[in-house]
């Protein structure tokens, strides 16, 4: 117990999440494994950030959509969102032991992060890059992705439905 009789709180890191995921996955042993859905910077603001571009669905809505799609195909789905590149890297690295595929919306890191590209290549899991908007209809700097060359598929412009499409795709190739 901490000060004032309260439990000591500690923010769960990616390793903690995957420890829990492993425990939960063992309950669903008959399933096909776990798909990791990773959302990068600013995606925690879905539903309020530029709804004319990103729609009104919240991150919780996206996570529920992904979980439902995974369940339809016999997969568990673990969702992680972070605004910090290092957390995303650690999450991808940990996926080697705990996931069978990755759905990744890296947000702005898509256009800047060689580190995320290298992490995806290193874990050798099928990954699907997802973007809610059609990045090719937006600013020029959003047209290049460091991640696409190491992803099995790329889905852009399908709104949050793109997450379901990504899981449907992984279900076909896994």
Which residues are the active-site residues? 54, 131
Alpha carbon distance 127, 167 (integer Å) = 10
Alpha carbon distance 152, 125 (integer Å) = 9
> Between the CA atoms of 86, 92, 96 and 98, what dihedral angle is there, to the nearest 10 degrees?
100
Q: How remote is the C-alpha of 160 from its chain's centroid?
A: 12
**Crossing angle of the two packed helices 59-72 and 161-173, in degrees rounded to 10:** 30
Looking at residue 116, the DSSP 8-state letter turns out to be: H
């Amino acid at each position: 117990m901490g000060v004032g009789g309260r439990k000591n709180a500690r923010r769960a890191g990616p390793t903690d999440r995957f420890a829990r995921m492993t425990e939960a996955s063992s309950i669903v042993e008959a399933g096909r494994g776990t798909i990791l859905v990773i959302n990068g910077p600013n995606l925690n603001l879905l539903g309020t950030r530029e709804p004319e571009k990103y729609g009104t669905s919240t991150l919780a809505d996206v996570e529920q959509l992904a979980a439902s799609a995974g369940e339809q195909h016999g997969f568990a789905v673990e969702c992680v969102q972070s605004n910090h590149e290092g957390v995303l890297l650690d999450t991808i690295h940990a996926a080697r032991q705990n996931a069978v595929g990755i759905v990744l919306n890296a947000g702005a890191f898509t256009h800047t992060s060689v580190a995320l590209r290298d992490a995806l290549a290193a874990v050798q899991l099928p990954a699907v890059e997802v973007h809610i908007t059609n990045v090719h209809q937006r600013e020029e700097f959003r047209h290049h992705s460091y991640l696409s060359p190491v992803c099995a598929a790329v889905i852009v412009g399908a709104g949050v439905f793109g997450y379901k499409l990504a899981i449907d795709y992984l279900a076909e190739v896994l």
